[in-house]
């Protein structure tokens, strides 16, 4: 089944993905295995995941969507490993809550693994021939670390380091490790729409003057820009001298510009939004074809600017406005009279890139 009947790599000639992509059960399952399993997922902040005495942290790859039990382990010299959380003997889930342990032990039959995932001991197996084999160790996944943030992938199909290097070009100079995680301003939002529609909306500033009145007052819409890179893109919000902007050094590629926001999107579902006050991370998590959880994670660097810009209220207001339009689009796509639409070549480069990438990963 094809969902991009008139999608074209040339944005000047291209239409969007077809409306049925956002509700079709086949597309839903294809995206799970061909997009999310083969790209990279945000695990979390290392400092928060290991903020007590625990050195084992169990998690699911994408809760409620792509079930894969995993463990983060921290061994000697703080070496991090991302391992399967399933015993290689009979499939018992090994770790069910964060804890401190010298070994990873199975409570079902006593198989024991080191913190590196290597099988070390198994009772009643002395007579077993050709044991242990490589498959008796816990499967290890790749980890990428950027500042305090951790990422992994089930079956990586592209080099995520290139994405991180792209972000470093513009925001690598920021003291991100010093940003304070602000749980009081972090929360999850439930959006009654397909996950990809939320990304579509994020990936263009076209709607800002029409939807976000407060945000539009802070931005110079005429200068708003989108630059597409490999597996990610960047939207830059420019402003006038009356709005708090980044104080960029002379060696920065945007030195001299009044920039109030760097909005990064990482394929397929992560947003890293940098402001003079700090950072907000949005992780878009599919639940059903018509239900999405968006985790909004806030980090503050400059408390004074955060308060002066009333950032907490503004970001929540923008989120609510985005929810309204995304949910309205989801309903509208159910119309028998709508199949797809055209892209604005000047304003929807990011959405076009996203649709082309989905098309490529799904091998349509």
Q: Provide the pLDDT for residue 240.
A: 81
Structure tokens at 15: 């239409």
| 126 contact partners, CB below 8 Å, separation of at least 6 | none
CATH class of segment(s) 19-37+163-362: alpha beta
pLDDT at 57: 98
Distance (Å, rounded) from C-alpha 261 to C-alpha 242? Answer: 14
Quick one: pLDDT at residue 364? 54
Q: How far apart are CA 45 and CA 66, in angstroms?
A: 21
**What is the pLDDT tens value at each position of the chain, 364 positions in all?**
568 889 999 999 999 999 999 999 999 999 999 999 999 999 999 999 998 889 999 999 999 999 999 999 999 999 999 999 999 999 999 999 999 999 999 999 999 999 999 999 999 999 999 999 999 999 999 999 999 999 999 999 999 999 999 999 999 999 999 999 999 999 999 999 999 999 999 999 999 999 999 999 999 999 999 999 999 999 999 998 679 999 999 999 999 999 999 999 999 999 999 999 999 999 999 999 999 999 999 999 999 999 999 999 999 999 999 999 999 999 999 999 999 999 999 999 999 999 999 999 998 5
d(CA 17, CA 6): 8
Chain centre to alpha carbon of residue 96: 24
CB 94 within 8 Å of CB 108: no
pLDDT at 203: 98
Q: What is the DSSP string of 180-193?
A: EE-GGG-EEEEESS
The rounded distance, in Å, linking the Cα atoms of 129 and 266 is 47
Q: So what's the pLDDT on residue 4? A: 81
Tokens matching residue 302:
């400059």
Give the model's pLDDT for residue 143: 98
Note the pTM of the prediction, 2 decimals: 0.96
Q: How many CB atoms lie within 10 A of CB 200?
A: 21
The structural domains of the chain, with segments of one domain joined by +, span 19-37+163-362, 41-152
- What's the confidence (pLDDT) of residue 1? 53
DSSP annotation of 290? T
Residues near 111 by Cβ (< 8 Å), separated by ≥ 6? Answer: 87, 88, 89, 105, 119, 121, 122
CATH architecture of 41-152: 3-layer Sandwich (2.102)
């Amino acid at each position: 089944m094809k969902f991009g009947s008139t999608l074209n790599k040339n944005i000047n000639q291209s239409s969007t993905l077809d409306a049925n992509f956002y509700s079709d059960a086949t597309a839903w399952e294809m995206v799970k295995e061909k997009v999310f399993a083969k790209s990279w997922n945000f695990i979390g902040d290392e400092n928060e995941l290991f903020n007590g005495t625990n050195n084992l942290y169990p998690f699911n790859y994408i809760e409620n969507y792509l079930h894969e039990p995993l463990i983060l382990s921290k061994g000697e010299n703080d070496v991090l490993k991302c391992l399967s959380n399933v015993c290689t003997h009979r499939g018992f889930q090994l770790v069910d809550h964060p804890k401190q342990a010298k070994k990873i032990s199975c409570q079902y039959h006593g198989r024991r693994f080191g913190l590196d995932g290597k099988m070390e001991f198994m009772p009643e197996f002395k007579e077993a021939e050709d044991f242990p084999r490589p498959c008796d160790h816990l499967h290890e996944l790749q980890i990428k670390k950027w500042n305090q943030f951790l990422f992994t992938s089930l079956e990586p199909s592209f080099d995520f380091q290139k994405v991180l290097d792209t972000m470093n070009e513009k925001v690598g100079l920021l003291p991100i490790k010093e940003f304070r995680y602000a749980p009081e301003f972090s929360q999850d939002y439930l959006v009654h729409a397909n996950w990809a529609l939320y990304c579509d909306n994020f990936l263009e500033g076209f709607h800002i003057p029409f939807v976000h009145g407060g945000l539009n007052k802070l931005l110079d819409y005429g200068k708003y820009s989108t630059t597409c890179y490999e597996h990610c893109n960047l939207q830059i919000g420019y402003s006038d001298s009356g709005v708090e902007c980044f104080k960029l050094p002379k060696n920065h590629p945007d030195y001299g510009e009044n920039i109030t926001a760097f909005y990064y999107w990482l394929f397929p579902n992560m947003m890293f939004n940098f402001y003079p006050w700090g950072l907000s991370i949005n992780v878009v998590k599919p639940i059903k074809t018509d239900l999405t959880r968006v985790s909004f994670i806030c980090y503050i660097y400059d408390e004074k600017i955060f308060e002066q810009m009333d950032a907490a209220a503004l970001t929540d207001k923008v989120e609510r406005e985005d929810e309204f339009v995304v949910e309205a689009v989801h309903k509208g796509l159910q119309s028998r009279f709508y199949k797809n639409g055209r892209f604005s070549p000047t304003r929807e480069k990011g959405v076009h890139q996203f649709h082309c990438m989905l098309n490529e990963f799904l091998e349509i």
